[in-house]
Structure 1
Amino acid sequence: MLERDSPTPLYEQVEALIKKNILNKTWPKGKKIPTETELMKKFGVSRGTLKRAISNLQKNGYLVQRQGLGTFVQADIEIPLERGLYSFAEYFQAHHIDYSNKILSAKIPKKTSKDIADKLGITITDKYLCLRRLREVEGENIMLIENNINIANAPHIETADFSKESLFSIIERYSKETVEYSETKYSAVGANSEVSSYFNIKKGAPILYQEQLVHLSNNSIIEFARVWIKSNHFTLKTILHRK
């Protein structure tokens, strides 16, 4: 199995064998791989050798480690469109996917553009909160999120800690209404300079772009979101019934 007299280091040979199991779907996407102890016994290598191989496969997007659960073959993050409205954060929490938010900015702009005013149903003299965040999922930057929030419908929401809680939960607490529905559209676009630098991809590389207008239970508009999504791990899924 391993060529111990080969000039190729053992960790690279182990890495190649694990990668082969992934590519030939012996270990399909989303599958939990054997434990470190099992793999050390299988390959006859030390823990340090195995850890180096696993680390390289994680860096290259083949494997992902989930705290308390083990190591898994990287799977597409599948967003089921037919299952109702929930935030990406709520989806990640429900599927035990490790994520974190970096707040890039949270401010009330001095001027309100006509485009944002029209989307939120306010005037250019009204104020809104512009929240920009970078979302990391299992060690990889995959989302740049811009949330434009109508603060008239959620007084004092600018004081919330957006790094600790899902946006929809915060909105519902400050607005005292429930998030009712959204109007959402997706498109394929080329990454601009800012997005490419955050995602570590080439400028112009294809990404997924989302626009979403969120309504409360009283039918008022609370948020207009723009989201740039690194598309290599995302798929959109829906089930349609013929009438």
Structure 2
Amino acid sequence: MIRKISAASARWGAPRILGELRKLGIEVAKSTEEKYRLRHPTPPSPTWKAFLRNHVRDFVSIDFLTVPTAGFRVLFVLVVLTHDRRQVNHFNVTENPTAHWTAQQIVEAFPCDSAYLVRDRDAIYGAPFWRHIGSMGVEQVLTAPRSPWQNPYVERLIGSIRRDCLDHVTVLNERHLRRILTRYFDYYHCWRTHLSLDMNCPDPRPVQPHDRGTVVEFPDVGGLHHHYERRAA
């Protein structure tokens, strides 16, 4: 029994195994436990990527991207991404981001079933931001300085936004950018398949069998992208 327990529970020490044996009505000395317990090499600490993957349902990431306009102004886009289904839970655009504005976006957008907020160390997340997040009972997970790879999900999202959309349009103003992103996120959630989601969409998309009709093409995001559906003739 000592070998069986120690094989199944590599992290258990002698006191834990002795306590478990005692609850099973088996009284042995510590020396006996030490004699028969299997020795395991110390398991390595989980990587940051593994940590994020193991807690994917509990995490939300936030980040800003900057977008220049035709009039040489710079707009800031805040995105709030839930890790589980890669859904953009919220976004907003402003020319003058402040800690108060950012905190208010999180208050309005943060999913009630998430517990951790992953973000970088940008100065925009100042004291008002800390107070708002603290009052919500949300734990902040800060990435290391100059380590965007520690926030991979939202960084990948920002890359997709640029490659799929913003690199191909000229933004006129804040209202125009908000309209473009609204259209893109509609496409992103409902039609864009993701390798990490087993080639499904953030909003799961059913498979359409052959008997549903012929394949019809529909334009999205002003014709930048298309989606395909089967429609009866």
TM superposition score normalised by structure 2: 0.27
Structure with higher helix content: 2
Higher RCO, Cα 8 Å, sep 6+: 1
TM superposition score normalised by structure 1: 0.26
Name which one, 1 or 2, has greater alpha-carbon Rg.
2
